[in-house]
Amino acid sequence: MFKVAVIPGDGIGPEVVSEGLKVLDALEETSSLRMQRTELDIGASRYLRSGELLTEDDVATLTKQDAIYFGAIGDPRVPTGVLERGILLTMRTRFDQYVNLRPIRSWLNFSRLKNEAPFNIAFLRENTEDFYMGAGGIFKGGEGKVPLRIKRTMYDIRIDLEASSSDVEDFAFEVGIHSRRGLERFADFVMSYVNQAGLDEFTVVDKANVCTSLYGLWREVFREKSEKTGVRLEFMFVDAMAMALVRNPERFGVVATPNMFGDILTDLGAELQGSLGLSASGNINPSGVSMFEPVHGSAPDIVGKSKANPFGAILAAKLMLEHLGMVELGKRIESGVESAMKKGIVTPDLGGSSTTSEVGDAVIEYVMCV
Ligand SMILES: NC(=O)c1ccc[n+]([C@@H]2O[C@H](COP(=O)([O-])OP(=O)(O)OC[C@H]3O[C@@H](n4cnc5c(N)ncnc54)[C@H](O)[C@@H]3O)[C@@H](O)[C@H]2O)c1
């Protein structure tokens, strides 16, 4: 019996999560899968009611789970960043989900590319360091001191920044940080993922020609791990990678990226598939609680219109089952998505006219019949 916390969240989050849960229900009916689900009210509505983002009670409940199944957060009534930082980023940090897995692949003829060659890439993005640590500040009138405290499970760093001259205007900065320990554990995960995928080579993205310190250590750690394990790697600068992804994505298998570049490249990848609504991701702590979600946000422009594509959320359930060791059931979900696509049962973002729940039903029809 797996314990799974369900956080539908805001906007289209509840609409797509309910389709994912329908698919999981169907699997429970037709396989040995058993889940105990606990739904949590975390998101904009509760924040507007009570000012709560992620409470200690939430953390206590989530800690007891085998996995978290998440919809989306974000609401036009709440200033940008409050929910994203206060809930999503906090959750990734609190549960130390240091790997972000985002597979992208071509689906039948839905890809945006003219190139017909099928592609299937697993992006593995370092999820806790780089430029997304909240390590920034603003000097007003070019003056002042900004003490930065970066506290993580692995270390506690303090950096004191002081403006040396007052003859400049306002300036702002955001610091990118990599720690050897943070990189080693991420690189270890990448190596074992590559092995499990039956590959002997993978691609590592960075911008080591410009950010020589930040990505110098990044390369050093990957080189060491590659020499130790015999798994070969190629380094690519992020700008070249963006071009190659559009030109010949079929040449990539596993791609490891730092936090910020991975964020951007995987959205490009999501669109190459045909729609952002198709993309799923896992925020993984291999020895802790991991969280699975569609990549898209709360899409306030289509909420309540039955237009939300549920494939991303359904495929997030697939990633969750694979993470829990139920690989065959994950494959069944993926085949169910393909089956719905083949029948043309897709939402308007993929050029169809089906509703969110009709798409979910089409996936279930396949899942129940296998
Ligand atoms: N993981 C998350 O929870 C997450 C991720 C991204 C954005 N957000 C938040 O979501 C809110 C809206 O952000 P945004 O508009 O930049 O991004 P978004 O992903 O919500 O929407 C971008 C565009 O894609 C469309 N879209 C998204 N998901 C879709 C789906 N499943 N089916 C069909 N179309 C879909 C939307 O209609 C919109 O036109 C903001 O508050 C943002 O901060 C949350």
Q: State whether the beta carbon of 299 lies less than 6 angstroms from ligand 1.
A: yes
pLDDT value at position 129?
Answer: 92
Kindly tell me if the per-residue pLDDT of 369 is higher than 90: no
Ligand 1 centre from 193 Cα, in Å? 29
Question: Stretch 330-353: mean pLDDT, rounded?
Answer: 96
pLDDT at residue 113, rounded to an integer: 80
Question: What is the layout of strands, in order, in the sheet containing 280-284?
Answer: 35-39, 2-9, 67-72, 290-294, 280-284, 99-105, 120-126, 254-257, 201-206, 232-237
Nearest CA to ligand 1 atom 44: 297
Q: Which amino acid is at 183?
A: L
State the pLDDT at residue 126. 97
What does pTM read for this prediction? 0.92
**pLDDT of 153 strictly over 80:** no
Cα–Cα dist 367/117, whole Å: 27
How far apart are alpha carbons 47 and 38 in whole angstroms? 19
For residues 76-101, average pLDDT? 92
Query: Atom 7, ligand 1: which residue's CA is nearest?
Result: 297
Q: From the CB of residue 331, how many other CB atoms can be counted at a distance below 10 Å? A: 14
Whether residue 370 has pLDDT greater than 80? no
pLDDT at 141: 77
pLDDT (average), residues 23-49: 96
Per the CB < 8 A criterion, the answer to whether 280 and 312 are in contact is: yes
Q: Would you say the CB of residue 170 lies under 6 angstroms from ligand 1? A: no
Please give the number of the atom of ligand 1 that sits closest to the Cα of 16: 31
312 lines ligand 1 (CB under 6 A): yes
Q: Whose CA is nearest to atom 36 of ligand 1?
A: 299
Q: Taking the alpha carbons of 186, 176, 59, 147 in that order, is the dihedral positive or negative?
A: positive
pLDDT at 250: 94
Task: Yes or no: say if 171 and 142 are a contact pair by the CB < 8 Å rule.
Answer: yes
Give distance in angstroms: CA of 150 to centre of ligand 1: 29
What pLDDT does residue 142 have? 74
CA distance 291 to 316: 9
pLDDT value at 186 more than 70:
yes
Pocket test for ligand 1, best of 97, 100, 276 (most atoms within 8 A of CB): 276
Mean residue pLDDT of the chain comes to 93
Distance 178 CA to ligand 1 centre (A): 29
**For ligand 1, is residue 315 a contact (CB within 6 Å)?**
no
Decide if pLDDT at 285 tops 90: yes
Query: Among 3-12, 158-167, 186-195, which stretch is predicted with the lowest mean pLDDT?
Result: 158-167
Residue 133 pLDDT exceeds 70: yes
Instruction: Please tell me the predicted confidence (pLDDT) of residue 173.
Output: 87
The region that residue 118 occupies, defined by phi over 0 for left and psi between -120 and 50 for alpha, beta otherwise, is beta
In ligand 1, which atom is closest to the CA atom of 84? Answer: 43
CA of 219 to the centre of ligand 1 (A): 33
Residue 108 has, within 13 A of its CA and on its CB side, a CA count of: 15
Are the C-beta atoms of residues 190 and 183 closer than 8 Å to each other? no
Give me the helices (H) in the chain, please. 13-30, 44-50, 56-63, 82-83, 90-94, 180-196, 214-229, 238-247, 259-273, 311-323, 327-342, 356-369
Choice between 101 and 200, residue whose per-residue pLDDT is larger = 101
Band of pLDDT at residue 61, cut at 50, 70 and 90: very high
pLDDT of the residue at 165: 67
72 lines ligand 1 (CB under 6 A): yes
Look at residue 286 in the predicted model and tell me its pLDDT.
95
pLDDT value for 294:
96
CA 306 to chain centre: 24
- Residue 14 Cβ < 6 Å to ligand 1: no
Ligand 1 near 17 CB (within 6 A): no
Nearest residue to 245 (alpha-carbon basis) of 277, 293, 205: 205
pLDDT tens-place string over residues 297-329: 999 999 999 999 999 999 999 999 999 999 999
Evaluate if residue 166 carries a pLDDT over 70.
no
Q: How far is the CA of 298 from the centre of ligand 1 (A)?
A: 5
Atom 38 in ligand 1: which residue has the minimum CA distance?
A: 299
289 ligand 1 Cβ < 6 A = no
Among the atoms of ligand 1, which is closest to the Cα of residue 293?
1
Query: Using DSSP, how many helices (H) and how many strands (E) does the chain show?
Result: 12, 14
pLDDT bin (cut points 50, 70, 90) of residue 117 is confident
